[in-house]
Each structure stands twice: as structure tokens, then as C-alpha cells.
Amino acid sequence: MIFANGDKIITYQEDASVIKNIKAQYDKNGLHIENPYIGEVAFTKNTVSFYYDPVVVMENENTIEPASYIISIVEPVLDSVSGGK
């Protein structure tokens, strides 16, 4: 499950084993997410969360849905690591 966690965070929540794989990949290569809008990436046993500034995304990407924009960046990467789970 991926969702907007408030107005500044996108959180992906899954089984601990899936998050463990994602964390391993993140430690290895940063998940190859090179996006200027994504700041801190925070892990718990069951979640990985991406911090962003919605106003910057709205202004620079000319969008009123910054959460959808960030999800469109991180979701394919997470799916590829988790096997689409």
C-alpha cells in the first residue's frame, strides 16, 4: 500500500520482509531514485517514507497533485524491488 502520509510524505507500507529487501537495495544504490524533490528517506520495519515539499513540486511541475507526482516516481521503483507485491 502506498499513500500520502499528510501533505509532505509518501509512505509505502508492506510486510517486513519486503521492506527489508527495499532497505538492502537502498543501502546499496539508493534505489536509483534521483529526483530533486525527494529529501529524506525514512525506514521502519514495515514502511519506507519519502519526504518532499509539496509547494516546490506544485510550482516547478505545474501540478495541483504533488502526491501523485511523487508516487509516480517512487512506485515503479518500489514495485521492481518488491516484485509488485
Partner 1 sequence: MSLIIQEGGLLTILQTVDKHTDNNQKNNEYNGAVDSLSPMLANKLVGNDVHEPTLEMSGQPAVIQFTEPTIIAYSGGDFNGRVSEDDIQPNRIYHVDRGDVLSFQESTRGNRLYLAVAGGIAVEKSNVLKSGDEIIMRRNYTALHDEIFHMMSNKRKVSWGIGVYSLVEVYLSDTYHIVKRPDVPDEVYEKLEEREYTVTKEENRIQLSVEGQKIDFAGTDCVNLGVLGGVYLANNLPAIALNDFSSETELTHIGTIPSYHMHKLGQKRRGSKIKFKAIDASDAHAEAYGHYLWVNSLFKAIDYKISKELVKEKM
Binding residues for partner 1, per CB under 8 A? Answer: 1, 3-9, 11, 13, 40, 42, 44-47, 49, 54-55, 58, 64-67
Residue of 47, 46, 45 whose CA lies nearest to 9:
47
For the CB of residue 65, give the shortest distance to partner 1 in the complex, in Å: 6
Strands ordered across the beta sheet of 9-13: 2-4, 9-13, 47-52, 38-43
> Whose Cβ is closer to partner 1: residue 44's or residue 80's?
44
What cell was used for 68?
501523485
Q: How far is the CB of 81 from partner 1 (least distance, A)?
A: 18
